[in-house]
Amino acid sequence: MTIIEELASALKKRKANVVVKARVKGMSGIEHEVDLLVRNGEKYAFVLLNECSCENFIKQFVKTVDLHGYKSYLLVESSCAEKLFESIKPKSTIIYTDEKDLLSKILSLVELKQS
């Protein structure tokens, strides 16, 4: 099971409305695939940076910026973040060390209780 599937399962157990691999139309008119959508009063979109390169970071980050109406976040594993970000990280980037850390950060964002 992938990290996104694990997150989706954990969020569903907490009664969140979750969609994996959702298609969302951006402000640009382009339809984007996002790894995880969560609806909990507000709408959240999460995009996993699954290839650690500057080119892929830019592509995925622009996708999160284009998603109007969603609180959008790029999920970046900490070892990748160390390679990409020297002194700053974009505000809408969640840097995580492992699945448990990522779940904790997403739960605090969408205000769901941890079990």
Q: What is the CATH number of the domain that holds 104?
A: 3.40.1350.10
DSSP letter for each residue of 86-108 = SS---TTEEEESSHHHHHHHHHH
Arithmetic mean of pLDDT over the chain: 89
Inside any domain, residue 115: no
Average pLDDT over residues 58-73: 92
Inside any domain, residue 64: yes
> Can you give the pTM of this predicted structure?
0.85
Inside any domain, residue 104: yes
**What H or E segment, with its residue span, contains residue 22?**
strand 17-25
Inside any domain, residue 34: yes
Checking if the pLDDT of 113 tops 70, the result is: no
Q: What's CA 49's distance to the chain center, in Å? A: 8
Angle of helix 99-110 versus helix 3-13 axis, rounded to 10:
40
Question: What is the tally of structural domains in the chain?
Answer: 1
User: By residue range, what is the domain housing residue 94?
Assistant: 3-108
Assign 53 to helix, strand or coil. Answer: coil
